[in-house]
Structure 1
């Protein structure tokens, strides 16, 4: 079956979720690179303001993810997912009116709380609207569409910011307003499209016994989260930190060269999930995830070699490394998302996906800290060695991950999700 056929075979609710997530990703991309520039060069705040705003967002994201993950176990998907999107939309809209540092920090808190909830609840919603054997397709399509739409958003946002109309504050305000509208559009779509998954009395009593502690006591879930953290630390967590830091520190690649590397990243992250996952369908998932660790290690080998060269040779080596890093990202995200959601019951799904999202966010915080500490060691050699060791660890841990349950095996534990999805496709779109 072709990739397009697989996506078309997804339940209607999952396809609407994919559409709405793409729309939201365009909005996110429009403001993604600009927060520091906006608050310092446009609003003329001191540098402590964006630094504190980013830290506030990260802290609020942890609390928000845990909160929305718990709420999802007690409220319907078609209420919690829209609520998280409205929450994030209000936060990013507030940035447009950040005339003083206090408003900027309040916006950071609201946005961080909400956007983490969006990540956790949307990942859970894909699992709730698909069968076990469809989830890799759903998560792969989402990863590809999200990267493509974010790329479109980044380009569009850059063009709007560079246009000669109004004031810079107005132009950036428009960007944040469009971002907010994209979240509100997703809220409207998911309000009508997602399952109601109303919790009955017996299920509610069962849910009360499922907390974060009970999930973290599960060895299989801990292994998945550990593998995700290791893989993210050497890929996603370094893409805006250690990787450009090393290349610039060694005078291998200039700023315009980094833009080429970003383009390579987007292209590979779009192509691999959409067009190559079908080729890997018969390869054991543990082996694919181990290969992703080796790809990450290969990335840092190429980055080290790029640091030993200059000009076009350095750029070619750096782009080769970024391509391998992107392959690793494209395997890890969808495969581990499907795996962890196939391991847990529907009652555990909200909290489990919150832990999944927080683990990824944690890598984005720890990654730059590792880079900052190790880049000065041996002209960056200490950093490269640490990345190679962590990549090897990610590959080894992948070999010990639990096997993804087959759809038949999952049927008993997945319970009401499939029937809820079928009923939703027939009638829930018409409910408010």
Structure 2
């Protein structure tokens, strides 16, 4: 059984530093995550379709910079790239706090997107440089739980603090989000300054090739498509589709939306170690099958909440959606990053993680746009149906991936060698 104590004891010093401040770093993100589209639509007065399109800029820019970012990580190391991204994040959040025109908001979201494009491959490459083996999958799961702890606490605070009739409350939370980026900057410039993520150029690094060679591998292609769909119906909806549906269709309050993120966090924090113990040594593709079924159930619950608007049942449905969705997250997050990094080598790890990030950003681009268009045209049932069908697609893609992925990257442990015992 995996416990927090044994996991922490197995970590190297650099790994402990990386984990120690994760929840604090993401607190600012939690303050703004559930409320950005509400801020754009209800506070600044942009229509819902435009607000969804503006939100997608984060992912559009992230997708554009992810490819070059992965190459720069492999060449110069993750720390330098991450520092540049964090500076952009601080500037973007500060500008968004005072944005009263769509053009200003667009510039701010572009700057935030630059950080999103490099932070995913950068931090994953940093993690992979510090931990390996089974500990790596555990690390990705625990890191995800801590990220959600910070986001969940921030969501609770934001839900009780922000007021659509008081624009200054939104200004404050975006400024706090900007300030939270100073914490990882201090870590990268201090305790983690000696960690190297780039390997010395060798014949192996030349043979590893670039993006074209990596994407020619069938396992990478199927995994990337699966990641895209998962992001489209999952995290691509968390900043746009879910809050908009909860407000416009289920007609719940911002406080309920904030509390739903708290429920999400509680489920992840309480279940992540148990889930890690259950999936250890199991085929990661089979874990994805279960996750797909869990997420399909969660979207059906949210759809039911929309049938009873502005009621206690609707509020309970919104909270239940996030709880069930969170259980699916505990299955997804330890597996996908671990597969990418187990397929990669030290010479192309930045590019593998950039491909993962590109799939994430691609889903996040399509997600808010689709949500904004469908909900703006009152196609509530169609919106839920698209999400459920996407979940079924994940299950089919996981089955295809299992036929093409090496056993070691699929989380299957190699059999213990039989010991030779001399017989006299």
Please state which band the TM-score falls in when normalised by the shorter chain: 0.7 to 0.9
Return the offset for 1:338: 0.8
TM-superposed CA distance for 1:101, in Å, is 6.1
- Map of 1:387 onto structure 2: 387
Contact 2:198 2:347 in 1 (8 A): no
Unmatched segments (≥5 aa) in structure 1: 410-432
Per-residue deviation, 1:88:
2.0
Shift of 1:365: 2.6
- Tell me if the contact between 2:241 and 2:367 (Cα under 8 Å) persists in the aligned partners: yes
1:339-379 Cα deviation digits (max 9, x unpaired): 11111112221122122122222222322444455569996
**Post-superposition CA distance 1:187-211 (Å, at most 9, x none):** 12023315124543426x8259632
Conserved? CA contact 1:93–1:177, under 8 Å:
yes
CA distance in 2, matches of 1:124, 1:316: 39
Q: 1:101 to 1:260 in 2, by over 3 A?
A: closer
Equivalent residue for 2:115?
Answer: 114
- Partner in structure 1 of residue 419 of structure 2: none
CA distance in 2, matches of 1:388, 1:307: 15
Tell me what 1:413 maps to. none
- Structure 1 residue 148: Cα displacement: 0.7
* Shift of residue 61, structure 1, vs aligned partner: 1.4
Matched ranges for 1:322-337 at <5 A: 322-337=322-337
2:221 is the counterpart of 1:222 = yes
Alignment check: 8 A CA contact 1:68 1:84 kept: no
Q: How far has the Cα of 1:70 moved from its partner?
A: 1.2
d(CA) in 1 for partners of 2:115 and 2:264?
A: 27
CA contact (8 A) 1:59 1:112 kept: yes
Answer whether contact 1:35 1:50 (CA < 8 A) is retained: no
1:343 aligns to 2:343 (yes or no):
yes
In structure 2, relative to structure 1, the CA distance for the partners of 1:379 and 1:89 (3 Å cut) is: closer
**Match for residue 182 of structure 1?**
180
Distance 1:100 1:282, change over 3 A: closer
In structure 2, what is the Cα distance between the partners aligned to 1:267 and 1:273? 10
The equivalent of 1:87 in structure 2 is 88
Alpha carbons 1:306, 1:315 under 8 Å: kept: yes
What SS does the corresponding residue of 1:73 show, helix, strand or coil?
helix
- 2:296 is matched with 297
**CA contact under 8 A between 1:261 and 1:319: conserved in structure 2?**
yes
SS of 2:18 mapped into structure 1: helix
Q: How does 1:119-158 map to 2 (within 5 A)?
A: 119-157=120-158
Give 3-state SS (helix, strand or coil) of 1:230's partner.
helix
Q: Secondary structure at the match of 1:74?
A: helix
Residue 37 (structure 1) shift? 5.8
For 1:312 and 1:200, locate their aligned partners in 2 and report how far apart those are by CA, in whole Å: 60
> How many positions carry a matched residue from both structures?
404
Distance 1:50 1:325, change over 3 A: closer
TM-score, normalised to structure 1, is 0.79
Which residue of 2 is the match for residue 287 of structure 1? 286
Question: CA 1:252–1:343 in 2, change beyond 3 Å: closer, same or farther?
Answer: same
Write the distance in 1 (CA, Å) between the matches of 2:201 and 2:208.
13
Deviation at 1:231, TM superposition (A): 2.3
TM-aligned CA deviation for residue 36 of structure 1: 5.0
Residues 51 and 129 of structure 1: is their aligned pair in 2 closer, same or farther, counting only changes over 3 Å?
same
Is residue 215–residue 221 contact of structure 1 (8 Å, CA) maintained in 2?
yes
Distance in 2 separating the partners of 1:85 and 1:284? 36
Query: 248-257 or 76-85: which moved more?
Result: 248-257
Give the C-alpha shift of residue 224 in structure 1. Answer: 1.4
1:4-28 per-residue CA deviation (whole Å, 9 max, x = no partner) reads 3213322221221223433321122
- Greater helix content: 1
- Root-mean-square deviation over aligned CA pairs: 3.6
Offset from partner CA, 1:20-68 (integer Å, 9 cap, x none): 43332112223334445656777x6766986675344332212222222
1:72, distance to aligned residue in structure 2 (A): 0.3
Task: Out of 318-327 and 133-142, give the one that drifted further.
Answer: 318-327
Shift of 1:157: 4.5
Distance (Å, rounded) in 1 between the aligned partners of 2:307 and 2:262: 23
- The answer to whether 1:30 aligns with 2:28 is no
Contact 1:292 1:328 (C-alpha < 8 Å) held by counterparts: yes
Cα distance 1:104–1:243, how it changes in 2: closer, same or farther (>3 A)? closer
Q: Is the 8 A contact 1:242 1:372 kept in 2?
A: yes
2:11 alignment partner in structure 1: 10
State the SS of the aligned residue for 1:346: coil
Task: Work out whether residues 90 and 180 of structure 1, in 8 Å CA contact, stay in contact via their aligned partners in 2.
Answer: yes
Deviations 1:370-422 (Å, cap 9, x if unpaired)?
4455569996444433333221221122233323436998xxxxxxxxxxxxx
Contact 2:29–2:151 under 8 Å retained in 1: yes
